[in-house]
Amino acid sequence: MAPWNPRTEEMPPDELRRLQYKLAKSLVYRLYSFNEFYRRRMKEENVHPDDIRALEDVAKLPFMYKRDLRDGYPDKIFSAEKNELVRYHVSSGTTGKPTVVGYTERDIENWSESLARGFSSCGLGRGDVIQVSYGYGLFTGGLGAHYGAERVGATVLPTSVGNTERQVELMQDLHVTAIACTPSYLLHMGEVAEKMGVSIKNDTDLRMGFLGAEPWSEQMRARIQDWLGIRAYDIYGTSELSGPMFTECTEQQGIHVWGDLALVEIIDPATGEVLEPGEQGELTITMLQKEALPMVRYRIGDLTALEEGTCACGRTHPRIGRIRGRVDDMLIVRGINVFPSQVEHALLEIPEVGKHFQIVVDRKGALDSMLVRVEVSEGAFSDKITDLMVIKRKVEHRLRSSLNVSVDVELVEPGTLPRFEGKSKKVVDRRSL
Amino acid sequence: MEKSYIVKQISIFSENRPGRLAAIAGALRDAGINIFAFSIAEADGFGVVRALVDRPEDAHRTLTDLGFRVSFTDVIGVKMRDEPGGLSEIASILGDAGINIEYAYAYSGRDGAVLILRVDQAEDAVRQILARGGELLKASLSQ
């Protein structure tokens, strides 16, 4: 699909790196001069703006963490005057205080520009109707996708989350062609539609989805594309970066992170060292042009890797692979690191069970136990107990071999596992109670 | 001919926790469906409820709509004398005929006792039992 901003999106890599260096250097000077929080952080680490003499020198800068935003609640680390702010978003703190993100007019402009490039790289444009089923309000998803889609000339249907039957009706009646929501909400919508006698594949004009705000997998993509008859694109962002910012293109080979807006580093979460392309590590982003709430080497906590080489679509900017999980979602069960995404991957390869699951971790005496609850799929249900026990043992065996930790599997009735209309909560850790 | 003796049993997946049987039985009551015979097989954390009902298709639809995992299973019902030796008589017939039972349960009602069987080859079993003088429940009773 034709680039939205060809001069930038197809910039030769060397030129892009020079631009990134220039932007990084001026960002650091600006923060050192005007941002008390980051100047103090740099002084603690003995780094001066003059130490940044090449793009690689960014690695000398101190990291920023989620806790910096919490400690700075609500606006202590902002770099813009209050009267320059045009918007706030607030992310709900699951632990402790929420975090507040402020935006200048230019921040909103760059956010919309970033998504306009992503949306148009997937072919969204004038004539499309996009249903934005991310939450509107303090959450960044709804308004972020909304502004990006309006920018490319698409018609926005701002449904937000919930009232799913009405969403299905509107999808049909207004000939919606694209949707932005979480992958689990789209699956839920597909199920609700089927109960209403509506096949999204055959009875609607939906042809693409921008799915994100929670980790998902290639198998889940294959299932969504096949079942719903759409192209499913990964969309990535967090409120600290502005909101949903970056998407895949039609190649579906990684998420394009616009280098003039963001500098990506993948680091070893334990040592903080920068890793090579292709190596899995913690995503760390420096927002090169953000004004109100600067982000330097911000450790998002998502696990991914930089894709190697340039994309077949011709866009030259770096790409990141699928988010593999959260550094802090990682469960340690009997000393083994376990990511819920690994469970999802394994289950998707077992047709006898459904796509939903719940992990329950508990401790009996000194020993951790891990239980995975799954639903028997319709075709696999047999009224012979022995057949069901074979399925249970098969799932246990597969999970054990992919997680390297033994797992109990519980077969549960269909529809009893939570299908959340928002971020999925798939792990119950009873050890902390 | 043999087919007329093959009875449609409904089988329902159920978690092994309080209230699940009540949910199934309540749904059938609300739909006005009568249960002739019924058993529960239980395993590790889950079970299968098996039932012969007067309207299997309606029962299947009612329970599926409520979100239950339901299937039909072909079973046969062998009539027994409701007096000492009744089961022994039937068991001998089955043994002589070389019929392998996957599971079985029984009920004893107004019209005598019935042993309900799930077997590998239902039509073959029907032939063998009839040939040895056994009497079978007609499928039409549960349609």
State pLDDT tens for residues A208-247: 999 998 878 888 899 999 999 999 999 999 999 999 999 9
Domain span at residue B112? 75-142
A379 touches chain B (CB under 8 A): no
* pLDDT surpasses 70 at A249: yes
Mean pLDDT of A294-313: 92
Q: Which residues of A touch B118 (CB under 8 A)?
A: 383-384
> Which of B14, B41, B73 marks a domain boundary?
B73
Percent of chain A with pLDDT over 70: 97
Indicate the average pLDDT of chain A. Answer: 92
State pLDDT tens for residues B4-29: 899 999 999 999 889 999 999 999 99
A389 touches chain B (CB under 8 A): yes
CATH 3.30.300.30 domain extents, chain A: 331-432
CATH of domain A331-432: 3.30.300.30
What chain A residue is nearest to B45 in terms of C-alpha separation? A410
* Cis amide bond preceding A74, omega within 30: yes
For residue A355, what pLDDT is reported?
A: 82
Strand ordering across the sheet containing A178-181: A155-157, A129-132, A178-181, A208-212, A231-238, A243-247
Q: Which residues of B touch A388 (CB under 8 A)?
A: 13, 43, 46, 48
What chain B residue is nearest to A371 in terms of C-alpha separation? B45
Looking at the structure, do residues B11 and B27 belong to the same domain, yes or no?
Answer: yes
Residues in chain B whose beta carbon is closer than 8 A to a beta carbon of chain A? 9, 11, 13-15, 20, 41-48, 50, 67-71, 73, 102-103, 118
CATH 3.40.50.12780 domain extents, chain A: 1-326
Looking at the structure, do residues B68 and B112 belong to the same domain, yes or no?
Answer: no
CA A25 to chain CA centroid, nearest Å: 28
Residue of A381, A383, A412 lying closest to B15 (CB–CB) = A412
Here the tokens at position B143 are: 């349609």
- For chain B, list residues with pLDDT below 50: 143
Q: Report, in this order, helix, strand and coil percent for chain B, each rounded to 5.
A: 35, 40, 25
Q: Which fold has domain A1-326?
A: Rossmann fold (3.40.50)
* pLDDT surpasses 60 at A186: yes
State pLDDT tens for residues A164-177: 999 999 999 999 99
Residue of B48, B67, B68 lying closest to A385 (CB–CB) = B48
Q: Measure the CA angle with vertex A78, ends A75 and A83; round to 5°.
A: 85
Distances (CA, A) of A207 to A14, A198, A255, B32: 36, 15, 19, 44
Q: Report how many domains make up chain B.
A: 2
Dihedral (Cα; A179, A184, A185, A191), 10-degree rounding: 100
Flag if B71 and A413 touch (Cβ within 8 Å).
Answer: no
Distances (CA, A) of A60 to A27, A52, A203, B121: 14, 8, 55, 75
* pLDDT surpasses 80 at A178: yes
Q: Which residues of A touch B44 (CB under 8 A)?
A: 389, 392
Residue of A383, A385, A389 lying closest to B73 (CB–CB) = A383
Alpha helices in A92-159 (DSSP H): 105-121, 140-151
What chain A residue is nearest to B102 in terms of C-alpha separation? A384
CATH number at B125 reads: 3.30.2130.10
Which pTM does this prediction carry? 0.66
For residue B141, what pLDDT is reported?
A: 57
